[in-house]
Amino acid sequence: MDLVRIGEPAIVLSTPEAAIELLEKRGNIYSSRPRSVFAGEVAYRSAKGALLPMGTQLRRFRTLMTASLGTVPSKNFRPLEDPETRLMLRDLLQEPNPAKYRGHMQRSVHSVAFCTAYGQRIDRLGAEHLEFYNSVERFFVRFSSLPGVRLVDHLPILSKIPLVSRWFCGEAEEQGDKEERFFRSCMDQAKSAYVNGNAIRASSWFAMERQERFGYTELELALLSGAPYAAGVTTTLGSCETFLLAILLHPHVLERAQKEIDTVVGPERLPDFRDFDTLPYIRAMIKETLRWHPFTPLGIAHATTEDDVYEGMFIPAGSTVMANIYAITRNTEVKIFLAALSIPTNRSFSSFPTPKNTSPSVFLNTTDPLVKNYNMTFGFGRRICPGQHVATDQLFIMMSRILWAFDVKPMKGGPKLTEIHARHGFFGPPVPFPYELVPRSDRVRSLIMEQAALAEEDVRAWKTLDYDL
Ligand code: HEM
């Protein structure tokens, strides 16, 4: 299939066996990215971490990401995730307007993702800031996650011919300049905060520390450091919204989760990170949310760097390879189809017995390691999402606190919700859907307000981004 760049094969993997064998076990040759001229080379001048091909720059970028977002350093952001979600609960309580729910969650998620890049928080989200951020994402989704949309991706020479290049690449140049200005100004602020000792070590700190050794230009320093902020907001927020939709469609899941929280945490305090290990059903809900409607159902395309053969099929170097995560976790149909044709098969095409309905308990009652340790929604092998620990922590604290505080209900008189709401095109969060958050008791209300007052004190210690775009 020639889907991405003319003449280069594109392969979509739809079984877990193939995805794991190729993208993980043979990761040494399956971890590059397809060449992206319009976005990667023109807009970002080869300095965008998520688009780097295999090689030294990628290895260095992944080192930065692991140093700031790995299993252990990801815990450095809990002291901000905690007060930010207490403030979010207050905002959800004080302004019980369903049209504003998204904004309250969004600010909290922006603040934490920004912190993972620059060690500082964001206390408000202006319209201009949001518009800029949305443009970063729109551009990535349209032109980067699957290159080949623009003619210049197929005929790179067009980007080198003066005057002509303006025609074919103007939009990319403009976007690249806009992002460079923003991320450089964040980097400058982060530098001075580090010098004054009032920001925690985030990706920008590790990049600065290694700038000389790695020979980073100012552009590389800015874009590579900013990667967690560029990648960490809509993915996490969209997954939280998918979770809310899932429990609206499956109220028995809400009931069971609240029962677990009431038993383990009780009504006299908010859930916190100490409860992570003792709330298995909530952890299972995170996995099920990510499986049910993955934010990136086809992940981000990988590319091969050497010729290879898989089950007799030749895969040339330079092929684009994608894992269809959505299909992988749902394809019991294949088994049923084979059975209907009386073709015997012992292969497990899906380890998920109820692929279309949400059933978090699948993750609890299994010995299948693929299900137990499910994380395919975060991608594969050497390109696996470096923000997965931060994202899991964020989802845990947001989901457990929302369920502790509120009953999540369909909007009275609102439209009937269906699974269709979960998909907003090829990539992205659910279609906006109406719902209500109803405080579970008066005690909940007063505790939220008490805790928010303490959270205001806690966040005072954090330096805040001063942005005027
Ligand atoms: C639920 C939330 C999230 C989901 C579903 C998600 C998913 C993904 C996926 C599928 C990839 C591509 C993996 C591959 O190529 O195989 C990726 C890459 C990436 N993610 Fe995430 N992500 C999430 C949250 C975050 C967060 C919170 C951060 C940072 C704080 C982050 C930072 C990144 C970065 C920097 C990359 C590029 C890595 C590379 O190309 O080597 N993500 N993510």
Helix/strand/coil (H/E/C) assignment for every residue in 44-65: CCCCCHHHCCCCHHHHHHHHHH
> Does pLDDT of 338 surpass 60?
no
Four-residue CA torsion sign, 244, 248, 253, 254: positive
Q: Which residue lies with its CA nearest to atom 37 of ligand 1?
A: 50
> Does pLDDT of 71 surpass 50?
yes
Amino acid found at 86: R
Alpha carbon 341 to its chain's center: 40
433, 416 contact by CB (below 8 A): no
* Residue 433 Cα to ligand 1 middle (Å): 25
Model pTM score: 0.93
- pLDDT at position 424 is 61
Q: Ligand 1 pocket test: which of 36, 137, 378 has the largest number of ligand atoms within 8 Å of its C-beta?
A: 378
Indicate whether residue 377 lines ligand 1 (CB < 6 A).
yes
Indicate whether residue 385 lines ligand 1 (CB < 6 A).
yes
Q: Ligand 1 pocket test: which of 30, 56, 235 has the largest number of ligand atoms within 8 Å of its C-beta?
A: 235
> Does pLDDT of 363 surpass 50?
yes
Q: Which of the residue ranges 164-173, 225-234, 276-285, 313-322 would you say has the lowest mean pLDDT?
A: 164-173
Indicate whether residue 297 lines ligand 1 (CB < 6 A).
no
Q: Which residue lies with its CA nearest to atom 17 of ligand 1?
A: 385
Q: Which residue lies with its CA nearest to atom 7 of ligand 1?
A: 378
451, 86 contact by CB (below 8 A): yes
Q: Which residue lies with its CA nearest to atom 16 of ligand 1?
A: 379
Q: Which of the residue ranges 124-138, 184-198, 241-255 would you say has the lowest mean pLDDT?
A: 184-198
Cα–Cα distance for residue pair 140/134, rounded to 1 Å:
10
> Does pLDDT of 46 surpass 60?
yes
